[in-house]
Structure 1
Amino acid sequence: MTVTIREYRPGSPDAESVVRLRRATAPFVVTTAEAVSCGMANAHPAGRYRLLLAEDNSTGQVVGSLHAGLSYRSPVPGHAFGVPHVHPEHRGRGTGTELLRRAEEYLAGLGATTLHVWTADGGDRAFAEKRGFAAGHTMHHLRLALADDGVPEVPALPPGFALRSAEGLGDDPHALYEADAEAARDEPGSVPVSLDDYDDWRRTTWDVPVLDRALTTLVYADDGRVAAFTLAHTDGRTRYSSGMTGVREQFRGLGLAKAAKADSLRRARAAGCLEAYTGNDAVNGPMLAVNRWCGYAHCATEVEYVRALA
């Protein structure tokens, strides 16, 4: 088999091909062709985001991809990501090696000094270690079968708090943005993130096709602020994913994350979703405990690998 590595083509079947590939390489990722197209169209210029595809010359099928760009939201310069995905049936033929080489060349040319990749299985980890990457953070992915009626009841909130759907925000989600920006400040990870651009947040969080506002749950404090939230992503059919769950620092320890997640999951089940996914950094003990309480079970583990770029 020979492959051609080329740029993603907007307006072509490439978006559907990317979704099929992600289902084969990372089934815990919930996305759609519309979301892929939107992500390419709305990528922030500072991120220099690039999507390459590896196409099997004999069949015309996309068998690999590379997502690469700069970590532009980090206040620490030099960080970049370059994540190759190769279909399990087409590995061991040099496609991943060439995609990674393209990532390193591209990102080094942009001035990046540190490359981050994520691997999802033993073979991928050996691939990274053989190429000089060092293991970093571990991410656990969890799955919940919503049809099994295992979603817990929504726990009672402390006095002064109320649950609402994000639909109530209308076209002004600034209250949610403020909560997300605060929660992101101490989110576990090797690259710190600052959500200081509201317009960019709208394009990449609020206006993305996978965000289901009806299933996204907000917990309001009595002063009108969003104290906690969980963002709901769906494929528009039966698959649901928790995009982000956050609690403002002063409201932690009150059970708000449990209430938000349980409420969103119950909404999702009522809307016809059959399976739910979520992911947590291995060091995020409190959120892992919340997800276990919700009934989630481990389904996959990803390991971050890091290497300096020449």
Structure 2
Amino acid sequence: MTVSVRDLRPDVRADLEGYVRVRDRAFPFMLSTPESIAHDLAHAHPDAHSRKLIAEENGEIIGTAQIGIAHDSPEPGQGMLNVFVDPERTRLGAGSLLVRAAEEHLVAHGATRLYSWVLDEPGNRAFAERSGYTASRPAHLLRLDLAHGVLPPLQAPPPGVEVRPGSDFSADPRPLFELDTEVTMDEPGDIDAELTDFEAWLDETWRHPLFSAELTSVALVDGRPAAFSAARTDGATRYGTAMTGTARAHRGRGLAKLAKNDSLHRARAAGCTEAFTGNDADNGPMLAINKWFGYEIRATEVRHVRELT
């Protein structure tokens, strides 16, 4: 039996469905649909040199890789690759072939340092180490049972604060882009990001098929966005938090918790039964908020780094 690697074909439904199927089996904490995968490819920033690869065995998709350059980082030369193999089809060489193809592409586009998220399991970490990667910072993957869990009751906003759905900004989402920019700059992680391109943000975030403006909640102080919890859904029963944060001038007032609670309540009312999120292990404030909501850590992944210079 032969395993081969090629690019995903975004116009072939079977490719998209196979890609999502492998991702769901190997990493069930991330929302994806065939439409979202096609959108990611169609609207990737040209400087990201983004590709999605699939590994096949006799025509069956058994592995995937998502690769690209961190074009929105102030530090050049940082490449990213995340590889997933169907847990029932490991040890066939698919992972190694995907890593090799990904690395060749990233190096050809100037990458000198490579980052990859790896589930914190012995086999996965051993594979990463054999491939030349060194463990860096961990992050936790959390799940909340929206169908049976008990959410904290909705709280009345403090004076001067109101909570509104993100859809109220459909006519002009730029204030949310500006808030997202500030929050993203302060998010802990190995790769710093600076959101400077409003049109790219519209394509990659606001118009993304998974993004739900209706379930996104925004806390306003004196009429201006001060905190938000951005929501994604698979269009069925799964809900994910894309980002939750507060502008620097308003931190410490519980506004992010207020916004996320509002979003979770509306998600449950809309029929969502599972909620997923992820937090850097050093992000104590957000981990505490999610514990308050009832989220439980279901897995941990560890960022791995390979220096090429």
> TM-score band (shorter)?
over 0.9
Is 1:158–1:254's contact at 8 Å kept on the other side of the alignment? no
Indicate if the aligned counterparts of 2:4 and 2:97 stay in contact, CA closer than 8 A: no
Percent of aligned pairs with the same amino acid: 47
Check conservation: 2:3, 2:93, Cα contact below 8 A. Answer: no
1:166 matched to 2:166? The reply is: yes
Q: Distance in 2 between matches of 1:305 and 1:156?
A: 43
Mapping 1:29-48, distance limit 5 Å: 29-48=30-49
Shift of 1:208: 0.1
Counterpart CA distance in 2 for 1:143 and 1:83 is 21
For residue 178 of structure 1, what is the amino acid of its counterpart? E
How far did residue 4 of structure 1 move?
2.1
Distance 1:193 1:243 in 2: 15
Cα distance in 2 for partners of 1:17, 1:249 equals 42
Contact 2:242 2:277 in 1 (8 A): yes
Letter matched to residue 234 of structure 2: D
8 Å CA contact 1:104–1:309 kept in 2: the answer is: no
SS of the residue 1:129 aligns to: helix
Match of 1:213, as an amino acid? Answer: A
Letter of the aligned partner of 2:35 in structure 1?
E
TM-aligned CA deviation for residue 154 of structure 1: 2.2
Closer, same or farther: CA 131–149 of 1 in aligned 2, 3 Å: closer
> Helix, strand or coil for the counterpart of 1:40?
helix
Name stretches of at least 5 consecutive residues in structure 2 with no aligned partner: none
Q: Is the 8 A contact 1:116 1:306 kept in 2?
A: yes
Say if 2:142 and 2:278, in contact at 8 Å, map to a contact too: yes
Specify the alignment match of 2:142 in structure 1: 142
Tell me how far apart the structure 1 counterparts of residues 57 and 308 of structure 2 sit (CA, whole Å). Answer: 29
Equivalent pairs counted in the alignment come to 307
Distance 1:17 1:225 in 2: 43
TM-score (normalizing by structure 1): 0.97
The Cα shift of 1:149 comes to 3.7
- The CA distance in 1 between the partners of 2:10 and 2:149, in whole Å, is 41
Aligned CA-pair RMSD: 1.0
2:162–2:219 Cα contact (<8 Å) kept: yes
| Aligned partner of residue 143 in structure 1, secondary structure | strand
Listed one character per residue, the Cα deviations across residues 265-298 of structure 1 (whole Å, up to 9, x for unaligned) are: 1000000000000100000000000000011001
Q: Counterparts of 1:117-266 in structure 2 under 5 Å?
A: 117-120=116-119, 121-222=121-222, 224-266=223-265
For 1:184 and 1:149, the matched residues in 2 are separated by 30
5 Å-filtered alignment, 1:37-116, equals 37-57=38-58, 60-116=59-115
Mapping for residues 288-307 of structure 1, pairs under 5 Å: 288-307=287-306
1:157–1:255 contact (8 Å) kept in structure 2: no
Instruction: Using the TM superposition, give the Cα deviation of residue 131 of structure 1 relative to its aligned residue in structure 2, in angstroms.
Output: 2.2
* In structure 2, distance between residues paired with 1:94 and 1:149: 41
Contact 1:155 1:258 in 2 (8 A): no
Structure 1 segments unaligned to the other structure (5+ residues) = none
Counterpart of 2:36 in structure 1: which amino acid?
A: A
2:4 and 2:94 in contact (8 A); partners too:
no
Match of 1:309 in 2: 308
Residue 12 (structure 1) aligns with: 12
Q: Quote the Cα distance in structure 1 between the aligned partners of 2:33 and 2:117.
A: 21
